[in-house]
Chains A and B, each alone.
Chain A
Amino acid sequence: MAVKVIVEKCKGCSICVNSCPFSAIEMENKIAVIGDACTGCGVCVDECPFDAIEKIEEAVKKDLSAYKGVWVFAEQREGKLMPVVIELLGEAKKLATEIGTDVSAVLCGDKVDDLTQELFAYGADKVYFADHPELKNYRTDAYTKVIQEAINQYKPEIILLGATHIGRDLGPCLAVRCDTGLTADCTKLEIDPEDKKIRQTRPAFGGNLMATIICPNHRPQMSTVRPGVMDKAEYVAGREGVAIRLDVSFGDDEIRTKIIKIVKQAGELASLTDAEFIVSGGMGLGNQEGFELLKKLADKLGGTIGSSRACVDSGWIDHSYQVGQTGTTVKPKIYFACGISGAIQHLAGMQSSDYIIAINKNENAPIFEVADYGIVGDLYEVIPAILEAL
């Protein structure tokens, strides 16, 4: 949806200017002019007392073919790329090859020039980078502004963001600002061989249903992608690309939040998504001390422990250990599910593990339906026996 001023009807009353949530309308020679910040929300159309603003069809406003290339949001924290960025670059390359276009990364930060080399090595053909002290740490207003301007200028057809606490904040804001759709937490992306548009598949209803979403008439097509789902891009040392610096300037009060301090607490998340071995516990543990036994097995394998949602809700273990739909998605070499019944929300987060081993007293537990190897028994007997056999 887009809007247009009917010049003959405009009386220059400025009601639309004041009603626009995006400050996208200005008066020029007593006639309203719609600027680039317009999202097509239609507030002005309904507010105008003279019916002087009308909606025009999307195709007229946006030439979809002008949008080219696949972009990846190169999320950095403390000057380091998030692991999901490497996964997104791997996926972006696949998509770009099928469309016949190139891969770009968009990077925001303070003194992050050296990350551009790393992004080239992981397959970015271009890196659009914004370097500014105000961009050191993620803030919604600052990053949204810079990246929205880059999108308007360079017009990518697809943008992928990691579904991190940052990507899931930035993505929705960008989508509204750029007047387009966003599909959250995708687990699979494909290109339609006919029209080269993206098909985005994601879990819904707590993982009970998968939905494939399209965004046919708006650009860019945007997805956030769950960390740990896509295959990592290959690192090619010395690979070169083009770095394009983005102009950055902020007005007073344009960034409306202030970070007072950043507090680190758990710090286990990275090891959960990267772990090759995960020994996960559910309510079958009976108590929080049960995780100590799981840790023994995890330590022996060089892995980490995980948890079902129920244990987190019971306060036995921190949320950062939670595997599943509302926790972390994992795909280790081996996933031990100990005393986990296998609710669909949990399965959604671990089903793509290479091998799943289920240990449960209840032989009818749904977890056995997805297990490569199932053992019916008391985990407090079975795990010590496994430790001994190792």
Chain B
Amino acid sequence: MSDSTGATTRLAHWYRSYEEQTESVTLGIWLFLVTEVMFFGGLFMAYTLYRSLNPEAFAAASHHLSIFLGTVNTAVLIGSSFTVVMAVWSAERGKQKSLVFWLGATIVLGLAFLGIKANEYAHKWHEGLVPGPDFVFHDTREGVHAAADPNRARMFFHLYFGMTGLHALHMIIGIGVFLTLMVNAIRGKYTRQWHDPIPVAGLYWHFVDLVWIFLFPLLYLIGRH
């Protein structure tokens, strides 16, 4: 788009100012995030309900998850939220090189998260913990008198793969979005005046981080002492 002077403008003609445009697109991504809250909310609801109905089997099943890998991944994801914040901060000040760097750092951390997650999935596959015809479950907790029911433990892994899988899908989409942003940033598309895609994508990334902040204690930590 061009204004009357011929200079490129990113201000859509139906907005009176960049502030108004930014307010509007921010509202848009928040409305999308509300639908995401209900999307993941249904799964969280199902998980807490089944956990409360099968406390023993779910505690036994969660003992098969690695707290170490889960903690590392939590730190990686929190770090990526921080790099996103730094990218937004750079964009607001028109620091192009810094913006490209922090977008790149976010992508690297996102890929690290997915790599660790893939490693965990591979382990579960080899242990036979993927729900399906080859599912086998052994109660590995020490000092337990009555072993947990494998059929109830299977439900834990259905929910584990469903929730972390959906979360990982969001990560993959997020990395795609950030790659696009980085290419555009290298091309100098974002200016101090207009850089709306950076904070909008940032809000999405933070939301995906928020989901993990709840997934980590619910899946990995509860019932482990």
- A, B assembled together: no
User: Which chain A residues have a beta carbon within 8 Å of chain B's beta carbons?
Assistant: none
User: Which chain B residues have a beta carbon within 8 Å of chain A's beta carbons?
Assistant: none
